[in-house]
Amino acid sequence: MTAEKNKKRILIVDDHPMMRQGLAQLIGEEADLTICGEAEKASQALEAIGKLNPDLVLADISLPDKSGIELIKDMQAIQPGLAVLVISMHDESLYAERVLRAGARGYIMKQEGGKKLMAAIRQVLGGQIYVSEKISAKILEGFSGRRPSTGSSLIDRLSDRELEVFQLIGEGIGTREIAAQLHLSVKTVEVHRAHIKEKLSLKTAPELVRFAVRWAEAQ
């Protein structure tokens, strides 16, 4: 019983059952870790935090009812300092800094092996930040003011919510569908589209769509 008590408790948040199952199996083989619960939606995750009191939340950023970045902010509001490690298929160069700003302690891509994931989990549980060497170098460049002002920096101007809208535009999704998917009003989505055009120096709606589609294809 004491050994079980000493294990670090992990909550898995991912909308794919096979992914949750795979992670649970992997973590279950570790002597010092245990899965205390699973959630497929942000709303379930927030409920689970209060009930299960995990030491670490392992979360995807693509969830059906809310952006994972918004979920991280909500989790930090409910339980300040809660350790969150994001595990995602999305390009880390786009999202790693955003999730750290939101309050997560690390970012690892889903294609990394089990050994790297375990190292990331233990690093985050130990109170450290985990990102790849490439992202670590990029963040340090940002602090030293040496980051180049071209390329992805245009996208960096977008807020987290604007980036979500932009990504969905790039996937060919219309304003009404975006509103429904993000639980926003059509008017709010239109305001976001206007801000995105302004920040990316685009004049028309077709220009925005073309730019977003090209960007989405390059990811």
What tokens appear for 207 in the block?
A: 């220009």
Q: What is the secondary structure of 155-214 as a DSSP string?
A: HHTS-HHHHHHHHHHHTT--HHHHHHHHT--HHHHHHHHHHHHHHTT--SHHHHHHHHHH
**Count of helices and strands (H, E) across the chain:** 12, 5
Q: Is the pLDDT of residue 11 over 80?
A: yes
Of residues 124 and 171, more confidently modeled: 124
Determine, yes or no, domain membership for 81: yes
Of residues 43 and 132, more confidently modeled: 43
What tokens appear for 37 in the block?
A: 């619960």
Query: Do 67 and 129 belong together in one domain?
Result: yes
Determine, yes or no, domain membership for 146: no
Query: Do 130 and 162 belong together in one domain?
Result: no
Instruction: Output the domain CATH number for residue 172.
Output: 1.10.10.10
**Percent share of the chain, pLDDT over 70:** 90
Determine, yes or no, domain membership for 148: no
Residue 83: what pLDDT? Answer: 96
Tens-digit pLDDT profile for residues 82-116: 999 999 887 777 788 889 989 999 999 988 888 99
Query: Do 40 and 111 belong together in one domain?
Result: yes
Instruction: Average the pLDDT over 41-54 and give the result.
Output: 93
Q: Which domain holds residue 95?
A: 2-141
Strands (DSSP E) contained in the chain are 8-13, 33-39, 56-59, 83-88, 106-109
Residue 150: what pLDDT? Answer: 39
Residue 93: what pLDDT? Answer: 78
Tens-digit pLDDT profile for residues 151-207: 456 788 888 888 889 989 988 999 999 998 888 889 999 999 999 999 999 988 889
Q: Is the pLDDT of residue 149 over 50?
A: no
Neighbours of 203 (CB within 10 A): 9
**DSSP 8-state assignment for residue 131:** -
Domain boundary among 97, 113, 141: 141
d(CA 8, CA 190): 44
Task: Report the number of distinct structural domains present in the chain.
Answer: 2
Query: Do 62 and 117 belong together in one domain?
Result: yes
Query: Do 19 and 109 belong together in one domain?
Result: yes
In this prediction, residue 122 has a pLDDT band, given cuts at 50, 70 and 90, of very high
pTM: 0.75
Residue 144: what pLDDT? Answer: 58
